[in-house]
Chains A and B, each alone.
Chain A
Amino acid sequence: NAGVTQTPKFRILKIGQSMTLQCTQDMNHNYMYWYRQDPGMGLKLIYYSVGAGITDKGEVPNGYNVSRSTTEDFPLRLELAAPSQTSVYFCASSHSQGAAQETQYFGPGTRLLVL
């Protein structure tokens, strides 16, 4: 059981380049999330999805896009990379959010450096 997997683990981008961070979960979870983790700032929610075909913005969506064509996959797209997007990105999933006590399961993260 792989849980939540993310690729790549590390990437260096030049300013203005684009890339897609991949996220896949095999737990049949309805909810999926993208967070960024900056030093001393905790986790900030970028986008989330409550099921295939449904996505919504989180706290810091500017500069990112997502899609959710299947239950398993939730890729995050950076169109025009900027130095401010240098961060560690985590994908997570949960069975639902209808119950407040629902646990989130995290992937290992993607470290992105924009130069």
Chain B
Amino acid sequence: GNSVTQMEGPVTLSEEAFLTINCTYTATGYPSLFWYVQYPGEGLQLLLKATKADDKGSNKGFEATYRKETTSFHLEKGSVQVSDSAVYFCALSPAPGGYQKVTFGIGTKLQVIP
């Protein structure tokens, strides 16, 4: 079946540091890939997505590139802020063909300290 692997964390960084959160996946065909973010006390919200190989999703300074050859979708940001402290979920939506559930990773908690 489909799966998404990401580190649980927490990842602790100082403000303005570079961020990488790794995400690898297992799926057949050409799934769509997502990063969702969950701020404290809130539900998940979409951060960025990519729907085909070599696509780059970007939003709020975050970027992730869909790498088919390495089955990866790593999240990066050049300079994190305290306000980026949250839990980040990598997710996979299977290729079209009737309903198939979205698979979420376990979430990676990011703590940014001033």
User: Which A residues are closer than 8 A to B by beta carbons?
Assistant: 4, 40-43, 45, 48, 50, 56, 58-59, 90, 92, 97-109
Q: Name the residue in A92, A100, A109 with the highest tally of chain B Cβ atoms < 10 Å from its Cβ.
A: A100
Question: Which of B42, B51, B102 has a CB less than 8 Å from the CB of A108?
Answer: B42
- B49/A43 in contact, CB under 8 A: no
In contact, B43 and A107 (Cβ under 8 angstroms): yes
Q: Does more than half of chain B's interface fall in helix, strand or loop, or is it mixed?
A: loop
Question: How far in angstroms is the closest Cβ of chain A from B48?
Answer: 10
B101 at interface by CB-CB < 8 Å: yes
Interface string of B83-104 (1 = CB under 8 A from A): 0000001000111100111101
Chain B stretch 37-75: residues in CB contact (< 8 A) with chain A? 41-46, 49, 51
Chain A residues within an 8 Å CB radius of B32: 100-101
Complex: A106 Cα to B42 Cα, angstroms: 9
Which positions in B face A, CB cutoff 8 Å? Answer: 4, 8, 31-32, 34, 36, 41-46, 49, 51, 89, 93-96, 99-102, 104-107
Cα distance, A45 to B93, chains bound together (Å): 13
> Bound state CA distance, A101 and B46, in angstroms?
12
CB distance from A47 to the nearest CB of B (A): 11
The secondary-structure label for the interface of chain A is loop
Given contacts A43-B89, A100-B93, contact A108 B43 (CB under 8 A): yes
Given A42-B89, A100-B93, CB of A106 within 8 Å of CB of B31? no
20 sampled A-B residue pairs with Cβ under 8 A: A42-B4, A42-B106, A43-B104, A50-B99, A59-B101, A90-B43, A97-B93, A100-B31, A100-B94, A101-B32, A101-B49, A103-B46, A103-B49, A104-B44, A105-B45, A106-B43, A106-B44, A107-B43, A108-B41, A109-B42
Measured CB to CB, the closest approach of chain B to A51, in angstroms, equals 11
- Bound-state CA distance A59–B1 (Å) is 12
A42 touching B105 by the CB < 8 A rule?
Answer: yes
Contact A100 B89 (CB under 8 A): no
Query: Given B45, B51, B95, which contacts A106 in the complex, CB threshold below 8 Å?
Result: B45
